[in-house]
Amino acid sequence: MDLEVLYVGQSYGDGGSRTAVERLQSHSTLQGIYAEAIRQSPDQEIWLVLLCFERYMLASFDGITKNYQTTEEEDDRHRSDVIYNPVSEQQEVNFTEGALIKYFRPEFNIKYKDSFPSPAHATYEECYAVDLNAVAVEVQTEDLMLRLWSSAIAPQWTHIAKYPLHSEQQRRSMFELV
């Protein structure tokens, strides 16, 4: 079955305290989307797909080219910084949501683009300062017998959204829906 991705959101809550079911019970944006989608396409059903993601952190070092842009001390300091200041769970959720919205460009996220990230989402500010080279999110739905698609992406079993984030400007642009 092919499902169009109309909206991407998160249910994380303060410190991971909220479940998806709790979030959906009072999600006014989702209720508005549901009402509008049913009005636009009364012959189609709305399905909710709840996904859980696992974290993988990959690091690679190229010691072959001998083309260095930093000193050994700067590299050691940077490596230590990354190891001892890991991405928080909230930042991980924010990066995942942002990457999937940027990838699928869902109709209703675009429609509500002025509220993403909302000024109430103070946790997004933290993401702009995180020292990451890239973010990648992989969604596999073959086991569910679903192919996801959107107006920007053809139906597929596997989707990989990946974005370079070498600078704060690139991190900010990942969360922009222009």
What SS3 string covers 4-31?
ECCCCCCCCCHHHCCCHHHHHHCCHHHH
pLDDT 10s per residue in the chain (178 long)?
999 999 998 877 777 777 788 878 878 888 888 899 889 999 999 898 989 888 877 666 666 666 667 777 877 887 787 777 778 888 888 888 888 998 999 988 876 554 444 545 566 666 666 767 778 899 999 999 999 999 999 999 999 998 877 666 766 666 665 4
Quote the pTM value.
0.77
The predicted structure's pLDDT at residue 133 = 73
Q: Which long-range contacts (CB under 8 A, 24 or more apart) does 77-86 make?
A: 78/131, 81/131, 82/131, 85/131, 86/57
| CA pair distance 84, 86, nearest whole angstrom | 6
The predicted structure's pLDDT at residue 60 = 64
Say how many CA atoms lie within 13 Å of 138 toward its Cβ. Answer: 6
